[in-house]
Amino acid sequence: MPSSAPPLRPIKPPGQQSKKAAAPISYDINIPYVDVTKESFPNTNYPEYLPTWDKIWFDPLPAFDYEDPALRVTDKSKPNLLTPGVAVSHIQPALGSVVNGVQLSQLSDAAKDELALLVSERKIVAFPDQDLIDAGPAAQEAFMRYFGKPNYQPVSGTVRGHPGFHIIHRDGNREEIERFLERRTTTTLWHQDVSYEIQPPGYVMLGLLQGPEVGGDTVFAATDMAYKRLSPTLRAWLDTLEAVHSSQKMIDHTRLTGGLVRKDPVETTHPLVRVHPVTGERCLFLNGEFITHVPGLKEAEKAWLLDFLLNHLIAGHDFQARVRWQPRTIVIFDNRSTIHSAIVDYIDEEHGAQPRHIFRLAALAEKPVPVYDQFT
């Protein structure tokens, strides 16, 4: 099957490959920005998914029409997805589910619509033992294209010929991890994926190719539930605010580490509280890395507000769910109503990180819907 990647175009020249004498610590310890070592190849059963860097240039994403597939569902019992023999167990009462007895590769369009509704309702849905893991990049891309426009990665490693893949790969790298933890107290990086785009992802797929026997979980917090826990007075004020999301820091860091940049920095103003198009819930739209300022607030005020909200999300264990990965598991989550972080706790003091290899595909959705029309 031919690749769905855009045509190759020359990379813009401005110094993307230059390196600093003193290497900076990783922007995100979970992903590499330069080639992995040859030693990684015999350590994985999926060498096709080791990160590569095609020299492609992406222009800014234009606005596009989007219809959420969940809105097409008329029978909320989801009869096409949750057929007899399918078992659903919940990770936490209010969010997160594990579905056994479903092969995503076999779903009809009606079942995919119901899957979108289930993800909107439960926020994180895990599907163990999926044959789609072994179906190859083209099949995985085709599946996710049903849920929205592909997001193409501006900096991180991808699958050769398939730049919609974002490869999360850890294997060894003891010295890099030591340098990282000399500067930081934790490896967690709480974020909502690609929040700087004009139309950020709605549905996101994570596929586990290889992972440690214990550890390497992903933890999610529900941003709609976190919003509800705030006082009515604070919620009323937050409803009126916007935030500027930018990929500038990520782009600058990639150039410092000698990585490949495929796109100019993107800066977009979004509401700080967005309305979910399927559930109607109000959700905090927050990112620990990409928000640069909040219009109308001074720098100290912005720092106080974002620190408070992010700490509120991180500390809210009563509205969080932790996914414990199993072999050949696929997780689909709602990027509009969750914030998440990988947990790098699978470190061997002698060798560094045990192998952990995951791919991500993100389906771009609607422009975030504000509470008040004057922000549209």
Tens of pLDDT, residues 27-79: 565 555 455 555 556 678 899 999 888 899 999 999 999 999 999 999 999 99
- 117 is in which domain, residue-wise? 65-375
Answer whether residue 312 is part of any domain. yes
**Residue 55 forms part of a structural domain:** no
Judge whether 15 lies within some domain.
Answer: no
Looking at residue 17, its pLDDT comes to 47
* Side-chain-side CA neighbours of residue 262 (13 Å): 23
Q: Classify 181 in phi/psi space as left (phi over 0), alpha (psi -120 to 50) or beta.
A: alpha
Q: Give domain status of residue 231, yes or no.
A: yes
Q: Are 278 and 70 in contact (CB under 8 A)?
A: yes
For the cut 80, the answer to whether the pLDDT of residue 374 exceeds it is no
Model pLDDT, residue 25: 54
**What's residue 142's pLDDT?**
98
The domain that holds 140 is classified in CATH as 3.60.130.10
Residue 108 above 70 pLDDT?
yes
For 329, phi then psi, to 5°, come to -90, 140
CA nearest neighbour of 205 among 294, 315, 296, 130:
130
Quick one: pLDDT at residue 32?
54
Query: Among all chains, which residue has been given the structure tokens 């893949």?
Result: 165
201 compared with 344, residue with greater pLDDT: 201
Average pLDDT over every residue of 287-292: 90
Spell out a b/e string for 109-143, using b for 16 or more CB atoms within 10 Å of the CB, else e. ebbbbbbbbbbbbbbbbbbbebebbeeebeebbeb
Whether the pLDDT of residue 350 is over 90: the answer is no
pLDDT of residue 19: 45
Per the CB < 8 A criterion, the answer to whether 225 and 338 are in contact is no
Task: Express the helix, strand and coil content of the chain in percent, nearest 5 each.
Answer: 25, 25, 50
Largest CA distance in the chain: 61
Among the ranges given (19-33, 161-175, 299-313, 330-344), the one the predictor scored with the smallest mean pLDDT: 19-33
Is 303 within a domain? yes
Q: Is the pLDDT of residue 16 over 50?
A: no
Q: What is the mean pLDDT of residues 178-205?
A: 89
Q: pLDDT (tens digit, 9 = 90+) per residue, 224-235?
A: 999 999 999 999
In whole angstroms, what is the distance from residue 9 CA to residue 96 CA? 41
What's the pLDDT at 285?
Answer: 97
Of the two residues 224 and 24, the one the predictor is more confident about is 224
Answer whether residue 229 is part of any domain.
yes
Contact between 202 and 334 under an 8 Å Cβ cutoff? The reply is yes
Report if residue 320 sits inside a domain.
yes
**How many folded domains does the chain comprise?**
1
Q: Are 262 and 57 in contact (CB under 8 A)?
A: yes
Q: Is the pLDDT of residue 21 over 50?
A: no
Calculate mean pLDDT across residues 273-286: 97
- Percent of the chain at pLDDT exceeding 70: 86
In a domain, 325, yes or no: yes
**pLDDT for residue 20 is more than 70:** no
CA atoms within 13 A on the CB side of 339: 28
